[in-house]
Copies of this chain bind each other. A is one copy, B any other.
Amino acid sequence: MVNRKEVPKCDLIHIHEGTVKAIQGKLPDEEILYDLADLFRIFSDSTRIKILSVLLESEMCVCDLACTLSMSQSAISHQLRTLKKSKLVKFRREGKSVLYSLADSHVETILSQGMEHINE
């Protein structure tokens, strides 16, 4: 019989408790896992994916992004705000326009790995 004193939420334990604890010890901190989920949530919307795909090709202002994607300026701006918050895009002002571009190369890697997965 397995000692279940220290893992009370599980009725049945196949691996022994030591193994459960070893794996729990190997897991990244819960906070990091939340941050990871938050990051991927940014990629989980098709509008944001489209914006990132466009920026992969070229720096662009809000209006042209809206134009290219046939969406409202407001919708694009709201999504750019989200992308800014998570540091996936950066921006610079140029006259009346604000030009957005990708913040770092992880975006490309993450997108291309996703592509590889769905192409299987």
Partner-B contacts on A (CB < 8 A): 7, 9-15, 19-20, 23-24, 26-28, 32-41, 43-46, 48-50, 53-54, 57-58, 60-61, 63-64, 66-68, 70-71, 87-88, 97, 104, 106, 109-111, 113-118, 120
Residue of B whose beta carbon sits closest to that of A4: B67
Q: Is A117 a contact of B113 with CB atoms below 8 Å? A: no
- With contacts A12-B63, A61-B14, A67-B20 known, is A34 near B54, CB below 8 A? no
- With contacts A109-B113, A116-B106 known, is A37 near B49, CB below 8 A? yes
Contact of A67 among B9, B43, B45 (CB under 8 A): B9
- Determine the chain B residues whose CB is within 8 A of the CB of A88 once the complex forms: 117
- With contacts A40-B114, A110-B110, A118-B39 known, is A66 near B27, CB below 8 A? no
